[in-house]
């Protein structure tokens, strides 16, 4: 291959890797919220295929993890219904110390994994309210897609180029995991996301919705919406066309009150001062068995643990948490088109 010498400096640095590695991936289940005090405590979960990460490399990354980041070796690097239920239980543990003050509202897109009956049952069991971003509108309304991922992937791309130009490491996946951990700390936990939720209409005040969304919906002023349980027909408009709404799974009694009678539900939350947990619970909550690491011969097996976070009382405002899934490639990052709002 011949290069124009005047253009050679424009080529990004590259690193050697096999085709199997290039086609592999791992999944980062990322969460953001509209409160800066809660954001650094939200769990960030990474699933890695066992063929990409040896026990020795896994033990190495465990020793480097911040308290709110979890890495799990799995047969594949994809999230699934069972693991998603575990993440919901983990999030519930994180939010437990503030359950007397805040009602968590989990916001997610309408992929089949998020709408599975087992996931809906887990949300009800843990006392979460949820908001489904309608199918085919993630690009417009999901805060992570509109405001976060462009910054996240730009951080990965820049730092990956620096890492690729450095002396090679023995495990490419280990390098990428460190880059993702750096992006979590440098982007997800370093930016304020309250404006992203507000401009996307997720803070309870439709006057704060961005002009971009209003133009896309062809509204000068958005109409009011009733603070009542949506009808089955409304839910069907949010679900994917090929998926049936299981009304028994998605509806159930809300924790302690009816949705229409929840005072302050539509109001934005105030700044959160983290409350201490009950006596004797100063440390982080116990990790669910499903995310607890196995013993590793010859290495200290450890895992990051989540800290305290925000939650709900009968008259409490919601803390909104946005939780889609990001699956970057293991050896390299891919260029993403410019975000519509971010």
The verdict on residue 12 lying in a domain is: no
**Quick check: is 6 in a domain?**
no
Output the pTM of the full model: 0.71
C-alpha to C-alpha distances, 76 to 1, 20, 185, 324, nearest whole angstrom = 36, 14, 25, 18
Q: Is residue 39 part of a domain?
A: yes
> What pLDDT shows up at residue 244?
84
On whether the CB atoms of residues 87 and 114 are closer than 8 A, the answer is: no
Q: Is residue 106 part of a domain?
A: yes
| 334 located within any domain | no
Q: What is the share, in percent, of the chain residues with pLDDT greater than 90?
A: 40
DSSP-based three-state secondary structure for 46:
strand
CA pair distance 86, 92, nearest whole angstrom: 10
Boundaries of domain holding 115: 25-326
Model confidence at 25, pLDDT cuts 50, 70, 90, reads confident
Q: What is the CA radius of gyration of the chain?
A: 21
Does any domain span residue 251? yes
In a domain, 218, yes or no: yes
Residue 139 has pLDDT above 90, yes or no: yes
Q: What is the DSSP letter of 237?
A: H
275 confidence band (pLDDT: 50, 70, 90):
very low
Cα 69 from Cα 185, distance rounded (Å): 10
Q: Are 256 and 25 in contact (CB under 8 A)?
A: no
DSSP track, 119-188: HHHHHHHTT-EEEEEPTT-HHHH-HIIIIIHHHHHHHHHHHHHHHHTSPPPS-HHHHHHHHHHHHIIIII
Tally of domains within the chain: 1
């Amino acid at each position: 291959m011949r290069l124009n010498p005047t253009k050679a400096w424009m080529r990004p640095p590259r690193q050697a890797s096999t085709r199997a590695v290039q086609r592999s991936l791992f999944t980062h289940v990322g969460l953001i919220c509209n409160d800066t005090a809660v954001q650094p405590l939200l769990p960030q979960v990474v699933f890695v295929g066992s063929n990409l990460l040896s026990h020795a490399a896994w033990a190495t990354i465990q020793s480097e993890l911040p308290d709110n980041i979890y890495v799990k070796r799995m047969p594949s690097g994809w999230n699934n219904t069972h693991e998603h239920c575990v993440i919901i239980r983990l999030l519930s543990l994180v939010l437990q110390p503030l359950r007397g003050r805040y009602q968590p509202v989990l916001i997610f897109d309408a992929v089949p994994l998020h709408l599975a009956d087992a996931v809906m049952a887990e949300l009800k069991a843990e006392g979460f309210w949820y908001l489904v971003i309608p199918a085919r509108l993630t690009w417009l309304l999901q805060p992570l897609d509109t405001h976060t991922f462009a910054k996240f992937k730009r951080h990965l791309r820049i730092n990956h180029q620096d890492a690729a130009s450095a002396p090679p490491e023995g495990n490419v996946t280990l390098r990428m995991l460190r880059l993702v951990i750096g992006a979590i700390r440098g982007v997800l936990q370093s930016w304020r996301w309250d404006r992203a939720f507000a401009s996307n209409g997720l803070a309870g005040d439709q006057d704060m919705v961005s002009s971009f969304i209003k133009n896309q919906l062809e509204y000068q002023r958005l109409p009011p919406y009733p603070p009542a349980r949506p009808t089955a027909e409304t839910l069907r408009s949010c679900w994917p066309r090929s998926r049936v709404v299981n009304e028994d799974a998605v509806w159930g009694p809300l924790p302690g009150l009816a949705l229409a009678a929840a005072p302050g539900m539509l109001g934005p939350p105030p700044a959160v001062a983290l409350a201490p947990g009950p006596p004797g619970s100063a440390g982080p909550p116990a990790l669910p068995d499903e995310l607890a690491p196995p013993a590793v011969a010859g290495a200290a097996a450890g895992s990051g643990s989540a800290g305290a976070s925000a939650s709900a009382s009968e008259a409490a405002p919601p803390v909104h948490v946005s939780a889609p899934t990001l699956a970057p490639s293991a050896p390299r990052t891919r260029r993403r088109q410019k975000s519509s709002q971010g």
